[in-house]
Structure 1
Amino acid sequence: MNLSVLTHSSKPSRILVVDDSPDNLFLVQTILEEEGYVITLAEDGRSALEQIDLSPPDLILLDVMMPEMDGFEVTKRIRENQKLPFMPILLITAFDQPSVVKGLDTGADDFIRKPVEVDELLARVRSLLRLKRAIDEREQIARQREEFVSWMAHDLRTPIVAAERMLMLFQQGALGDLSPGMEEAIITMARSNRNLLAMVNTLLEVYRYEAGRKNLIFSPIDMQRVVEEVIQELSPLADEKKLSLKPNFAEKIDSKVVGDRLELHRVLTNLIGNAIKFTDSGSIEVRLSNICNAKDAQMSWLLIEVEDTGSGISPEDQKMIFERFRQGGHRRSGSGLGLHLSKRIVETHQGTLDVKSELGKGSLFRVCLPIQKP
């Protein structure tokens, strides 16, 4: 047995050969089995799809011209099935270039012409199996990363929450009176602990989105009420810095969208909270209107603008401010996750999030959301 055909788990690669000609099946089976591959056969497209559903192979060799369902249709159905793992498809064709182009556009990964030459067939099989292993390894690494982050975030939350409760007991005097110095130190510790918990929660949310495991609950929402709630919740922070936090809503505005209320609340909390954080004097204005420079002019849009008179963002930082773990140059910049997560949430709602800013003159964040009927 040729050891080059074995996967990292020392199992021979499984190949499904699909052809309506028994002679062709026998020929390809003989060639591949001599190289140590495990071969299963199918004489038509429907039986091939049934086998794939039951036990997906590592590679599919697929004849183009077959009765009832040709190779193009089989390829199309395989690629449309999101439940299947990635399986390279090698088309076997006796036709010219247009046939090859159609097959590749349908989702095939490579092709070989009839009559099949043994060396070329084996070379293409080895190449596609290398592709399969590389993609499988990449997906495994992504799963392991996701599991690690989920585990880490969960395990970090437990001691952080416990520390928060203990600090709360200290602040309430349950463990005895505190000196002014101790009280100030505990307030600082509690604030740092809350920031750490928020960072862990945000990290977990980011990876849920990126792994496609974030479950959103869509329902009709009046975004004007959500904006008013967030402003009311964050007003004490603005008052502490003597900042003006004011709404400015257009008349007769249509502010009803379909989305996940908690996630959109998270976006507004992040944007308005950042505006307060990076503004030392002046104001933060939150505007609502239906004027949005969106691509689809056939739809109605809601524009939410958060503008501050803060320190502004440099052109270099603006280019990467929505990237994961890319912190801005400001000394108060956080983990680099909040804006990344906000953009993911907005895009999940088929909207856009962008920024306009100039150093020393403040920043303007713009959220465009489609107004949809429930």
Structure 2
Amino acid sequence: MNYSPFFHHNPENNRILVVDDSPDNLFLVQSILAEEGYESILLENGPDAIAYIEKSPPHLVLLDVMMPKMDGLEVTRTIRKNPSLPYIPILLITAYDGASVVKGLDSGADDFIRKPVEVDELLARVRSLLRLKHSVDERDAIAYQREDFVSRLAHDLRTPLIAADRMLELLQKGTLGELSQEMYEAIAVMSRSNSNLLEMVNMLLEVYRYEAGRKTLNFSPFNIGKLLLEVTEELTPLAVTKGLSLKFLGSSNSQAIMVGDRMELHRVLTNLIGNAIKFTDRGTIEVNLEIQLERVKIEVRDTGQGISSQEIEQLFQRFHQGKHKRSGSGLGLHLSHRIIAAHQGKIAVESELGKGSLFTIYLNKNQ
């Protein structure tokens, strides 16, 4: 694939949608484009344009601003709000003043040209936007190839890591013969390192599945209070080892029933509470559950080192690593954010350096 920013112009490779309520204007623009060898599709109103674009996205849209039914600004906003569409450059054609141009660009258009249209200017803007379109497409293709490579690599790494994990487990149990104390300790270190690497690979695969739209969640009713209590009990020994107090302040009564993917939310809660323990050296971690009318509110509060305002802005980005020496791969919070978003919920953080952090999750009780 050629990733050069200099797009080799080939009109036959481009399909241009022209939308204008005036048949005369459509014919004029079509004639100009045809002289250069472009394929053009002509439509006279916004709703038809939206329907066509959703079915067969063109390489470029030439769009009149003033049209009945739906003007060019509304068409532009509708295109930009559709996450399933690829990037499509939009060139507005307007006979009006600068205010109209500003509104068009703010709506998501890429460029504009004024009526009456000058042939050379129109073709120059068309060529410029098509270069942009193909550059974006090439960038996205390379990004997809990179993500696919990472996914395949992570998948291939799991097999030898799992095999090594099983072998180290056998060695630790003495199945293959007695070990000296020194050998036992060395194998224990190897086992922990292998487990950490396997966990990172598994998390990377989960992130890829969410980002590629290949993750299927299993929604069913469950008791969120019991889940929180379960995770808290699982992590209590880790907190006790550090001399910390881990408390669950919520309730697991019948009012705590919600609909969601229990296993994925277990992953989120384990990550948040585990992070709170990891970054707290003394004090407490409190986990609270508040049952509201239509949603549940979960809080994880710690007395740890806190997070700076600059770090908070990037906290849920993929591979963002904090400045603390104990910071991990940067995948855990990103994946947690993805899981909560897939539940149509929200996750927020409040923190101040030296005064601890508060992570809050809001989840709808019924999906």
TM range (shorter): 0.7 to 0.9
Q: In the TM superposition, what is the alpha-carbon distance from 1:164 to its structure 2 partner?
A: 0.8
Q: Name the TM-score, length of structure 1 as normaliser.
A: 0.78
Q: In the TM superposition, what is the alpha-carbon distance from 1:107 to its structure 2 partner?
A: 4.9
Question: Distance between the aligned counterparts of 2:273 and 2:288, measured in 1?
Answer: 11
Q: In the TM superposition, what is the alpha-carbon distance from 1:188 to its structure 2 partner?
A: 1.2
Question: Is the 8 Å Cα contact of residues 253 and 290 (structure 1) preserved in structure 2?
Answer: no
1:24-83: CA deviation from partner (whole Å, max 9, x where unpaired):
444333433443x42224253477567656643311223456677765665566556554
Matched, 1:338 2:332: yes
Q: In the TM superposition, what is the alpha-carbon distance from 1:234 to its structure 2 partner?
A: 2.0
Question: Distance between the aligned counterparts of 2:58 and 2:44, measured in 1?
Answer: 16
Corresponding residue of 2:321 = 327
Question: Distance between the aligned counterparts of 1:66 and 1:249, measured in 2?
Answer: 57
Question: Distance between the aligned counterparts of 1:285 and 1:66, measured in 2?
Answer: 58
Matched, 1:158 2:159: yes
Matched, 1:351 2:346: yes
Matched, 1:365 2:324: no
Question: Distance between the aligned counterparts of 2:273 and 2:82, measured in 1?
Answer: 42
Indicate how the Cα distance of structure 1 residues 96 and 268 shifts in structure 2: closer, same or farther if over 3 A, else same. same
Corresponding residue of 2:40 = 40
Question: Distance between the aligned counterparts of 1:66 and 1:275, measured in 2?
Answer: 56
Question: Distance between the aligned counterparts of 2:357 and 2:63, measured in 1?
Answer: 55
Question: Is the 8 Å Cα contact of residues 288 and 305 (structure 1) preserved in structure 2?
Answer: no
Indicate how the Cα distance of structure 1 residues 337 and 51 shifts in structure 2: closer, same or farther if over 3 A, else same. closer
Indicate how the Cα distance of structure 1 residues 51 and 226 shifts in structure 2: closer, same or farther if over 3 A, else same. closer
Corresponding residue of 1:245 = 246
Question: Distance between the aligned counterparts of 1:41 and 1:326, measured in 2?
Answer: 44
Q: In the TM superposition, what is the alpha-carbon distance from 1:166 to its structure 2 partner?
A: 1.6
Indicate how the Cα distance of structure 1 residues 20 and 260 shifts in structure 2: closer, same or farther if over 3 A, else same. same
Q: In the TM superposition, what is the alpha-carbon distance from 1:365 to its structure 2 partner?
A: 2.8
Q: In the TM superposition, what is the alpha-carbon distance from 1:195 to its structure 2 partner?
A: 0.5
Matched, 1:262 2:291: no
Question: Distance between the aligned counterparts of 1:97 and 1:357, measured in 2?
Answer: 45
Question: Distance between the aligned counterparts of 1:128 and 1:158, measured in 2?
Answer: 46
Question: Distance between the aligned counterparts of 2:330 and 2:163, measured in 1?
Answer: 26
Corresponding residue of 1:294 = none
The 3-state SS of whatever aligns with 1:216 is coil
Question: Is the 8 Å Cα contact of residues 207 and 335 (structure 2) preserved in structure 1?
Answer: yes
Question: Is the 8 Å Cα contact of residues 248 and 286 (structure 2) preserved in structure 1?
Answer: yes
- Number of aligned pairs? 359
Matched, 1:285 2:286: yes
Unaligned 5+ residue runs, structure 2? Answer: 1-5
Amino acid at match of 1:118: V
Question: Is the 8 Å Cα contact of residues 285 and 300 (structure 2) preserved in structure 1?
Answer: no
Shifted more, 14-23 versus 84-93: the winner is 14-23
Q: Name the TM-score, length of structure 2 as normaliser.
A: 0.79
Question: Is the 8 Å Cα contact of residues 88 and 133 (structure 2) preserved in structure 1?
Answer: yes
Indicate how the Cα distance of structure 1 residues 355 and 157 shifts in structure 2: closer, same or farther if over 3 A, else same. farther
Map of 1:189-208 to 2, 5 A cutoff? 189-208=190-209
Corresponding residue of 1:307 = 302
Map of 1:1-374 to 2, 5 A cutoff? 6=8, 12-19=13-20, 23-35=24-36, 37-45=37-45, 52=53, 55-64=56-65, 75=76, 78-79=79-80, 82-95=83-96, 107-241=108-242, 243-249=244-250, 255-280=256-281, 283-289=284-290, 301-308=296-303, 310=304, 312-313=305-306, 315=308, 319=312, 320-348=314-342, 349-359=344-354, 363-374=356-367
Shifted more, 183-192 versus 62-71: the winner is 62-71
Unaligned 5+ residue runs, structure 1? Answer: 292-297
Question: Distance between the aligned counterparts of 1:82 and 1:346, measured in 2?
Answer: 19
1:185-227: CA deviation from partner (whole Å, max 9, x where unpaired):
1111111111111112222333444445443334444221111
1:82-129: CA deviation from partner (whole Å, max 9, x where unpaired):
543222222334455666566556654333333211122122212322
Q: In the TM superposition, what is the alpha-carbon distance from 1:183 to its structure 2 partner?
A: 1.7
Amino acid at match of 2:30: Q
Indicate how the Cα distance of structure 1 residues 354 and 133 shifts in structure 2: closer, same or farther if over 3 A, else same. same
Indicate how the Cα distance of structure 1 residues 228 and 24 shifts in structure 2: closer, same or farther if over 3 A, else same. same
Question: Distance between the aligned counterparts of 1:354 and 1:367, measured in 2?
Answer: 6
Q: CA RMSD in A?
A: 3.7
Q: In the TM superposition, what is the alpha-carbon distance from 1:262 to its structure 2 partner?
A: 2.0
